[in-house]
Amino acid sequence: MTFRIEIVDPSTAAPMAGRVLRASWKPPCLDYSDAYLAWQFGFPGRLSPVVAVGFLDGLPVGCAAATQRAVVYDGSHIDAYVLSFVAVDPSARGHGLAAALYARLLGALSPGVPVIAFAEPNSAGERLLINAFDKASYTGHTLSVCRAVGSVSRPATSERLVSAAPVKQLEDFTSVIPDIDRATIWNRPTSQQWVHYAADPRPRTGVLIRDRDGLPIGSAMIVVTAILSAQGLQHVPMLESVCLPSQSPDALRAVFDFATEQYGAARTIVAPNLSYLDSSVVRAARARALPSSFNAYVFLVGRKDSLQNAAHLNLEVI
């Protein structure tokens, strides 16, 4: 077999990557539609998205991509890549294509930029990920495990102390994100990225949580994610980029309840990443652990990056 790997134009990459991802991942998994991938590969920012595709006899059989997110950590606003959408068609496995895709992709990234990545714990993919960054002279730093939790709506037992409502303005959404925090890397979208989030082909709503005095105490996004399951296509409301600096169970409960009212009647609302919240806060909000989890990493060039002191991340799991 003779493979070639190319860095392709992100604006035309979705059909190629979609073909590979849909062949590689079996239910339960995300629905890797061309529209969803085109949205991901079109994420705006100072860093251009990078998409690597592996070809065999002219057909795409492997892919890997890095897109930008803007984050804030310890008072610094940072542009970072998020590496995801790594897959090899089952018919092309066993020939080192995944390692070659990683090498080609990492070699095309802007130098000195941190890279965030997620991996299934103790998987072959996780080992390959770590080895690829090591060979590319990155230093890996492990963040808290992203354990998914779920919640089913229940009747309120008392008057709500906090409320959640849709938010349209970026300034309102980011008003609760701590400027100085030496524990958590927070998702802090730019104005361009905020507009792009609103253009997600999946239903998406920004949410602001206020206390009984009307003061903002938290924010989040709710996105209805398409999941392929053994029963067919299902639409699951998920909480993303949840920011609750006060660690308030009532605020977290308010987000779950709002998601239920908007999208989730008779459904479980899932939050894939609440890693910075204490488990007692999650339990008090009547949410429970689900089997799914991902290990989170930030890969750095050099050993003196401030991000090596971070413990948590509130970014959506991609």
Contact 97, 85 (CB under 8 A): no
pLDDT tens digits, 60-91: 999 999 999 999 999 999 999 999 999 999 99
pLDDT tens digits, 249-279: 999 999 999 999 999 776 799 999 999 999 9
Q: Read off φ and ψ for residue 160, nearest 5 degrees.
A: -70, 130
- Kindly state the tokens that stand for 226: 């398409």
pLDDT value at residue 154: 63
Determine the Cα–Cα distance for residues 25 and 19; give it in Å rounded to an integer.
11
**Mean pLDDT within 296-303:** 89
Q: Which of 202-206, 287-291, 299-303 is the least confident region?
A: 299-303
pLDDT value at residue 267: 79
Could you tell me the pLDDT band of residue 231, with boundaries at 50, 70 and 90? confident
- Kindly state the tokens that stand for 306: 């401030």
pLDDT value at residue 302: 74
Where helices occur in the chain by DSSP H, the ranges are 14-24, 34-41, 97-108, 124-135, 170-173, 191-198, 249-263, 279-284
Determine the Cα–Cα distance for residues 79 and 48; give it in Å rounded to an integer.
11
* Separation in Å, CA 298 to CA 6, 22, 117, 232: 25, 27, 6, 34
Structural domains in the chain plus CATH codes:
3-142 (3.40.630.30), 147-291 (3.40.630.30)
Contact 257, 153 (CB under 8 A): yes
Q: What percent of the chain has pLDDT over 70?
A: 97
pTM of the model as a whole:
0.95
- For residue 234, pLDDT beyond 70: yes
Determine the Cα–Cα distance for residues 156 and 26; give it in Å rounded to an integer.
38
**Mean pLDDT within 109-125:** 96
- For residue 98, pLDDT beyond 70: yes
- Kindly state the tokens that stand for 231: 């029963």
pLDDT value at residue 266: 64
pLDDT value at residue 2: 82
pLDDT tens digits, 187-209: 999 999 999 999 999 999 999 99
- For residue 303, pLDDT beyond 70: no
Contact 193, 44 (CB under 8 A): yes
Q: Which amino acid is at 78?
A: I
Q: Which of 40-44, 152-156, 227-231 is the least confident region?
A: 152-156
> What is the distance, to the nearest Å, from the Cα of residue 93 to the centroid of all Cα atoms in its chain?
26
pLDDT value at residue 305: 83
- For residue 50, pLDDT beyond 70: yes
**Mean pLDDT within 36-44:** 98
pLDDT value at residue 155: 53
257: Cα within 13 Å, side-chain hemisphere: 20
**Mean pLDDT within 239-247:** 96
**Mean pLDDT within 300-313:** 88
- For residue 157, pLDDT beyond 60: no
